[in-house]
Amino acid sequence: MTRRQILKYFTVLFTGVSISLYLFFAINDKYIQQEKATIESAKSKVVLRLSEEINKINLVLESMGFFFENKRKTSITQEVFEKFTNPFLTQLYGIGALEWSPKVLDISKEEYFRRTEKNGNNPPFILQMGPNNKFIGSERREVYFPIELLNPLEPLRDALGYDTYFESVRKHAIDTAIETTKLSISGPIELVAKNNVSSGFLAVKAVFHPASDSVKGIVVGVYRMDMFIEQILASELKVLDIAIYEKGDNTLLYSSGEKSEQIGKKSKTEVLPVELKAANHLWEVRFVAKAQHLSFPHAYESYVAAFLTLLATFLIASIIRKRDNYNRRLEAKVRLRTAELEESNELKENLLREIHHRVKNNLQITSSLMNMQKRKLSSKEAITALEDSQARILAIAMTHQKIYQDRDSKAVNLYEYLVDLMAYQKKVYPSVNYNIDCPEISIDLDHAVPLALIVSELVTNALKHAYEDPAKSNQLNIEVKSYDGEVELVVYDNGKGLPKDFDIKKASGIGFEIIRSLCRQISANLSYESDETGSRFKVAFANKAEM
C-alpha cells in the first residue's frame, strides 16, 4: 500500500468519524438546549406562580374581611362560614384552613363565652399550647384572638378556642396586619392538630369595625409550607430542587429534593437566587436543576446517527479499497500489456530497420551490377540511361539508409538527406557549388521515397542541362520552408534557363515523367519559373510528420 493510499484511507476514516462525532454531539446538544430552556422556563414560572398565589390569598382574605365587617348585629354561624369559605378552599393551593378569630379583651371574656356558647360555635374557654403540644387553658392576658370559626372543622375541631395571639411569631404577624391594614404573612410556625406537628405559616388580614376603625378580629389562612409549595409548583419541582429562605435572617422556610445545606454548597452558576416579595416578607428562592436535566442526554437517535455514519464511512472505505485493488490489478495488466506492446513494437521496429537496411544493401548491389554492366557497354545513350538509373537507385538507397538510421524508423530528416545527396552529386559534378537552406524537418515515410526521387531528378536535370560552361561559377541552391504542416521545397540554379516553349506538363523526358508521377502520388503541387538567369522549381506538399 502506497503512502498516498494510506493518506486517502485515513482522510476518509477521519472525515467519517468527525461527521459521526459531530452528529452525535449536535443531536445531544439539541436536547441539552431543550433542557436548558425547560430549566429557565421553570425558574420563571416559580416566581410568577408564587406571586400569583400570594395575590390570590390577599384577595380571598380581603373578601373574608369584607364579609365580617358587614356582619354587625348577628353572629356568623359555622354553617354560614363554611358555605362562604368552601369555594376559597377549592381555589387556594396548599390551604390548610380558613379561620375567623375575633378580638377579645380580658375584661369582656365572659361576654364572649356566653355568646359563643349560645351560638354553639365554641367551648366556653380560650386555649393555649401546653407541654407536649397539648392544648391547655390560656393564661390571663389583656387581649386574645381565639379561633371561633374554622373551615374545615372536623379534622381541626381541637383548635377551636386556641388563642392565635399567644405565640410570638403569630402575635407579630397579627400586630403587623393591624398596623399596616394589609396582608401579613407570619414567619415559620409549627402547626398542631391532633398531635400532628408540621411546619407552615399564617396569612393574616385584620378586620376593623366600620364605624370606629377599632380591630374587630382577624381572618387567617393557615398553610403547610410543603403543601403550599408542592401544589403550586408541582410541574416545576419535576425540573428543579427549590429552597426558600427568609431574606433577612436566612431562615429556611422550605426545601425540596436535596437538603438545604447541599443546595447551599452548589456553585453560583448552579444556584441562581431570586427574591420574591411575599406581603411583609422578602423570600429568597434558590434553584438547582435536578440531575437528570443536567446529565448528558445520550439521545437514542444520536447513537443511531453516529452508527449509521460510521457504517457508511466503513462501507465507503471498503468500496474505495476494492476499487483500488481493482485498479491496481488493472494497472498491473496494463503495465504488462504495455511492456508486451513495447517489446513487440521494438521487435517490429528492429525488423523494419533491418528491412530498410537490406533494401538499401540490395539497391547498392543493384547499382554495383549496373556499374559492371556499364563498363561493358559502348553505347553512350545506354551508359547515360544506366547512370540515370543508378542516380535514382542511389536516391532510394539513401532514403532507406536514413530510415533505418533514425531511432523510431518513422520519418526521415530532410536536411541530413539533402546534405548526403549533394555530397554525392558533388563527387559527380565537382564544378557546381551547392547551398542548402533547410530547417530541421522530418518527412513521413509515405513522402520520403517519392520526395527523394523528385529532388534527385530536379538536381540531376539541373546539373546536366543548366550549365554550359563548367568553368563559370555554377551555383545550385535548395531552399526548404515549413509552416502549418505544409512544406515548400525550392530547387533553383543560375544556369541558362529553360527553352521559351518549355511546358512541364508536356515535357517528354523520362525525368519529368517521373517527377509528375511522383508529385501526383504525394499530392504535391509542382510549379516552375525560368529566365536567362536560371530556373526555379517549387514542390509544395502536406507533411504528416509535422501535423
Alpha helices (H) along 406-527: 414-428, 445-465, 510-521
Residue 144 · residue 163 · CB < 8 Å: yes
Residue 92: what pLDDT?
Answer: 92
Grid cell in block for residue 510? 523520362
Residue 196: what pLDDT?
Answer: 55
Give mean pLDDT, residues 497-523.
Answer: 84
CATH class of 414-547: alpha beta
Q: What share of the chain is helix, strand, coil (3-state, %, to 5)?
A: 55, 25, 25
**Mean pLDDT of all residues belonging to the chain:** 85
Residue 446: what pLDDT?
Answer: 82
Q: What is the pLDDT of residues 470-508, one digit of tens each?
A: 667 788 899 999 888 889 999 998 888 888 888 888 777
Residue 223: what pLDDT?
Answer: 93
CATH class of 11-291: alpha beta
Given a cut of 70, whether residue 4 has pLDDT beyond it is yes
Q: What is the pTM of this model?
A: 0.56
Grid cell in block for residue 313? 464511512
Given a cut of 50, whether residue 403 has pLDDT beyond it is yes
Residue ranges per structural domain of the chain: 11-291, 311-409, 414-547
Least confident among 87-101, 292-306, 352-366: 352-366
Given a cut of 90, whether residue 98 has pLDDT beyond it is yes
Least confident among 30-39, 68-77, 142-151, 534-543: 68-77
Amino acid code (one letter) for 530: S
H or E stretch at 275 = strand 274-278
**Gap between the Cα atoms of 391 and 453, Å rounded:** 9
HSE, side-chain direction, 13 A CA sphere, residue 338: 6
Least confident among 215-224, 380-389, 429-438, 526-535: 380-389
Residue 266: what pLDDT?
Answer: 53
Give mean pLDDT, residues 96-115.
Answer: 86
Among left, alpha and beta (phi > 0; psi -120 to 50; other), residue 51 is alpha
Alpha helices (H) along 204-299: 225-232, 260-265, 291-294
Residue 269: what pLDDT?
Answer: 47
Q: What is the pLDDT of residues 228-284, one digit of tens each?
A: 999 999 999 999 889 999 988 888 889 886 555 555 555 444 566 889 999 999 999
